[in-house]
Amino acid sequence: MGCFECCIKCLGGVPYASLVATILCFSGVALFCGCGHVALAGTVAILEQHFSTNTSDHALLSEVIQLMQYVIYGIASFFFLYGIILLAEGFYTTSAVKELHGEFKTTACGRCISGMFVFLTYVLGVAWLGVFGFSAVPVFMFYNIWSTCEVIKSPQTNGTAGVEQICVDIRQYGIIPWNAFPGRMCGSALENICNTSEFYMSYHLFIVACAGAGATVIALIHFLMILSSNWAYLKDASKMQAYQDIKAKEEQELQDIQSRSKEQPNSYT
């Protein structure tokens, strides 16, 4: 076999479905963790500078955001390892590996591990659906603030006395207490907030983080389909293995019977 044919055969053993799902999972988790971490820091800066000047009013929120940032580190580390494990599982259960390396024996432990991966991926997929929904909350909040600023900038309201009556009360979202001061911004002051780099950056980073969470959900669904297919393949392979063992045993018994039947006439003669 030449080098080209060997390379083609090796490429045939790559589980491309698992590889695509792994790349999508890594990309989604990286976008969610990286953009979410920076966006949370920008949100705290906006609250401290404009909506809650008293540190004690948003002390709990700052602790929660700091905890979420640490959780993001854990999520990134866990999914980096989990994605590699699932990719390795895809390599070892693909039918192309069987063609490359010959027959392999499946064990009950191997099938149990594949079933465990199916269950764990299903649980993680449901959890990431919740993360995806939760990541849409800050996008909704920032969108409301941005749309209010667009109303202030519109020609119909810009320069009129009613501009100062257009306000955003951040306390209604429940992230700071009702006694926080000032709690809300109106008119030109709100427009200045929308023009800051912190607001612009945090808004778009939250959008990217939400998209990353959605990509991770799609990747986990993709992994779930792959793992279910691999588990079914292992189950069928175990049945075929049991059938071949029984067939080989019967053939051996038949050969023993035939050899004994040939030996008996020779003993009489």
174: left (phi over 0), alpha (psi -120 to 50) or beta: left
The separation between CA 202 and the C-alpha centre of its own chain, rounded to angstroms, equals: 22
Structural tokens at position 144: 């409301």
* Mean local confidence (pLDDT), 62-72: 90
Share of the chain above pLDDT 70, in %: 79
Q: Considering only 34-48, 78-92, 107-121, 209-223, which range has the smallest mean pLDDT?
A: 107-121
CB 62 within 8 A of CB 44: yes
Task: Quote the CA–CA distance of 257 and 269 in Å, as a whole number.
Answer: 20
Long-range contacts from 150-153, C-beta under 8 angstroms, 24+ separation:
152/187, 152/188, 152/190, 152/191, 153/191
Residue 268 has pLDDT above 60, yes or no: no
What is each CA distance from 250 to 232, 238, 262, in whole angstroms?
A: 27, 18, 18
Task: Quote the CA–CA distance of 194 and 149 in Å, as a whole number.
Answer: 7
CB 184 within 8 A of CB 178: no
Query: Which DSSP state fits 185?
Result: E
pLDDT bucket at 214, cuts 50 / 70 / 90:
very high
Query: What does the pLDDT look like over 89-126, one tens digit per residue?
Result: 887 776 544 544 455 555 666 677 778 888 999 999 99
For residue 184, the SS3 value is strand
CB 168 within 8 A of CB 148: yes
Residue 37 has pLDDT above 90, yes or no: yes
Q: Global pTM?
A: 0.80
pLDDT bucket at 242, cuts 50 / 70 / 90:
low
